[in-house]
Structure 1
Amino acid sequence: MPERVLIPYDGTPLAERALRYACGEFPTSDLTALYVVDKARDDTAASGWGDHPSEWTDWLTERRDHAQELFREADAVAAEYDVELGTGVAIGPVADMVIQVAEEYGMDLIVVGAHGQSALGELLIGSVARSLVRRSPVPVTTVRDSPGDDPTADGGD
């Protein structure tokens, strides 16, 4: 069983599904939810901010506050499983930051949400999950969002 598990967490149902899977499967592991602030993927990021550093600072402060709101929701999920949940915020491209945190903090496993299966049965995973599966130095478990599945019943490398 992995000692340290990292769960990229953005508050979406898919991220919650991955968190529930991790809590259910690894209740004695050190679980950490990671929120990544990525200007390129965030709809609240203004384009062409100009020369005012305070705009960037104010935006980052708002994103960190948003992360704390998400972590309260994640803590509530973890409490349902009676597990402790660590949290962290990183700034940069999502997949890069998840990999960097996994390396720097000695994570044994990454658990990430991935989209369900197509009619042909091929796993369709988002660009972040796909990048993690391809590039991660540690194993990655993907948790699908297939309707009707039990979130603790479907994971894979």
Structure 2
Amino acid sequence: MTRRVLVAMTQSEESERAVEHAVSTFPDAEITVLHVINPNTYYGAEGEMSYRHVVETGEERAEELFEIATEIAERHGASIATETAFGNARHEILAYAKEHDVDQIVMGSRGRSGISRALLGSVAEAVTRRSPVPVTVVK
């Protein structure tokens, strides 16, 4: 029986479908939506931003995502908890699952292949390969 479900959420339609899948498939489970803020993604061609600005921007985005996730859950008569983590997405997702005794991970994937997957990596693939619990990947 699935008691605790972790949904990893990013700014993507696939992530929204992952939330919908989780709340409709596991209606009796405790569902937590996790958004990981990776400060390294905020350093680019325009130069470095202050860490404080990175945190504030990431948290604002997380709140927007959590509003979307909550709306999806409410449409299904479900409630969710939300959490934010800082760091590498694949590491933080796996660490959260382990620390909180998660039974199932649900996440979206854009389904990149070939060179784009090799260059950018795939969080969904890495989590699936290393997870000690089942992982459902929603496209």
Q: Is the structural similarity TM-score above 0.5?
A: yes
Higher-RCO chain (CA-CA 8 Å, sequence separation at least 6): 2
The two structures have a TM-score, normalised by structure 2, of 0.86
**1:102 partner SS:** helix
**1:112 partner SS:** strand
Q: Distance in 2 between matches of 1:130 and 1:39?
A: 21
Deviation digits for residues 73-127 of structure 1 (CA, Å, limit 9, x no counterpart): 1100000001011000000110100000001111111011134599xxxxxxx71
* AA of the residue aligned to 1:38: N
Calculate percent identity across the aligned residue pairs. 34
1:105 aligned residue (100, 103, 110): 100
Q: Distance in 2 between matches of 1:75 and 1:35?
A: 13
Q: Distance in 2 between matches of 1:112 and 1:131?
A: 12
Greater helix percent: which structure?
2
Q: Distance in 1 between matches of 2:92 and 2:111?
A: 24
Aligned to 1:148: none
Q: Specify every segment of 5 or more residues in structure 2 that has no aligned partner in the other structure, as ranges.
A: 114-120
Q: Distance in 2 between matches of 1:117 and 1:2?
A: 29
Aligned to 2:48: 49
Q: Specify every segment of 5 or more residues in structure 1 that has no aligned partner in the other structure, as ranges.
A: 119-125, 146-157
What is the CA RMSD across the aligned residues, in angstroms? 1.9
How much does 1:128 deviate?
0.5
Aligned to 2:127: 132
The two structures have a TM-score, normalised by structure 1, of 0.76
With over 3 angstroms needed to count, the CA separation of the structure-2 counterparts of 1:138 and 1:71, relative to structure 1, is: same
Aligned to 2:19: 19
Query: Max radius of gyration: which structure?
Result: 1
